Amino acid sequence: MKTKKIPMRMCVICHTSKPKKELVRIVRGVDGEISLDLTGRLNGRGAYICPSDDCMTKMCNSKRLGKIFETEVSDEVYSQLADRLATYLNENGGGTIG
């Protein structure tokens, strides 16, 4: 019996490869809005980050999403992403995403 292939993705902040379900997807939709994609199914350009305080802090400080999505990302958007992720992880016990 064949082993099922697990999709791997790389965190854009710390550059560690992990299974897709262990990372959080941030997406820039076709309308240009940047949001947290907890289902992994939203249309648009996606970037993955570790669901850790360290990677979230580095993401907000380095402004890396602006470079990845080739657009200006305001501090308010970074704050909203961090708050939404923290809320989700607190409600779900910090388990896997999706």
**Tens-digit pLDDT string for the chain (98 aa):** 788 999 999 999 999 999 999 999 999 999 999 999 989 899 999 999 999 889 989 998 998 999 999 999 999 999 999 999 889 888 877 655 65
pTM over 0.85: yes
Go through the domains of the chain in sequence order and give each one's CATH number.
8-91 (3.30.1230.10)
State the Cα–Cα distance between residues 58 and 79, nearest whole angstrom.
Answer: 12
Pairwise CA distance, residues 58 & 55, whole Å: 5
